[in-house]
Structure 1
Amino acid sequence: MFQLGKTIVSEEILENDFVCNLTACKGGCCVDGEAGAPLEGVETEILVDIYKQVRPFLREKGIETIERQGAFVKGEDGEWETPLVNNNECAYVIYSEKGIAKCGLEEAYNQGATQWRKPVSCHLYPIRIKEYTELTAVNYHKWQICDPACTLGEELKVPIYKFVKEALIRKFGEDWYTELEVIAKEYLKP
């Protein structure tokens, strides 16, 4: 671990490679698991505000779940998260013609219906953020379902921190990411 500003960052995001391989995993991270996507407080308000614009992009099961449970729920850990359809997939999941799970929020964004892409936790994956009083932990979340992404990342030689560059900048800013690149260059020297 190393400190970067008000964050504590795991070296694993520098050492490990990762590139989503949707043809292999079929977007399983949006479908499998025991909880919805983690949400920041401000994101709960955004989900409520954009629901009418997002609704046309969602599946009927997702709409029913959101309208019954709400645009977000409090998880077992007391944190905010997206609701789940039948305790399984995220209520905002949609499927491509090939059966690949995709994000309905992101589809609405891509089609110009909203200005908000998706929860930052989803955008950052496989990085998980944990907020503490003084610092924010930035860790690599290993999940067997993502083994094909690790293999593809190794083949393409793309470290995690580069794969999620846009999301890291979204969360922490350009200056933070520039410092991370300097640290990575020094850390990864042969």
Structure 2
Amino acid sequence: MKKIVFGLLTTLSVITYSCSNNATNKPSAEQTPAAQEDTTEVKVVKASFTKVDAGVTAYMKNLTNSYLQIKNALIAGKATDAGDAAKNMSAAMKGFDKSLLSADQKNVYDQNEEDLKEHAEHITKSTGDIEHQREHFSMMSEDMSSLVKAFGGGKTLYNDHCPMAKNGKGANWLSETKEIKNPYFGEKMMECGEVEEEIQ
């Protein structure tokens, strides 16, 4: 029993240390001039397609909003709300007119569409298993990242990374704010992660 308790305490210590946002490695305010307090460089990414039909722009904004609703529901630990938002995402995809896309745009969209539909379906049907929702959300995030980097998401987005997600393999997600709120752990480790990119 003592070995189990010790093992759990050791694991918790490692997780807490890994997700401390490197607070111990950063100089204190007294040691660092105010202008250099945040030396973290965030890569800025612009949408690759500069000419996009207005209908596609509106669709991408709608898709992004549904995605962000899923993300925020997972942060709050609300599996039912995540399922509802994923259902909205599925409905939006069914109604999208792909004839509005150029050949290059269609190629990028088609590479991500089926996976997005599958992940949205899993999240919709798994309202009793938030960890399963989070697993599919991590894969959905990869597809959404590809799409917003190509078409834009109707707003500035931040590509965040949590090194502890997926059993230490790490996972990314998109957010509408710079503040880290982790959808993979929610209240357990809300601030675990860092901003890697700003997508405009």
Give TM-score, length-normalised by structure 2: 0.32
Q: Structure with the greater relative contact order (CA < 8 A, sep ≥ 6): 1 or 2?
A: 1
- TM-score normalised by length of structure 1: 0.33
Higher helix share: 2
Q: Which one has a bigger Cα radius of gyration? A: 2
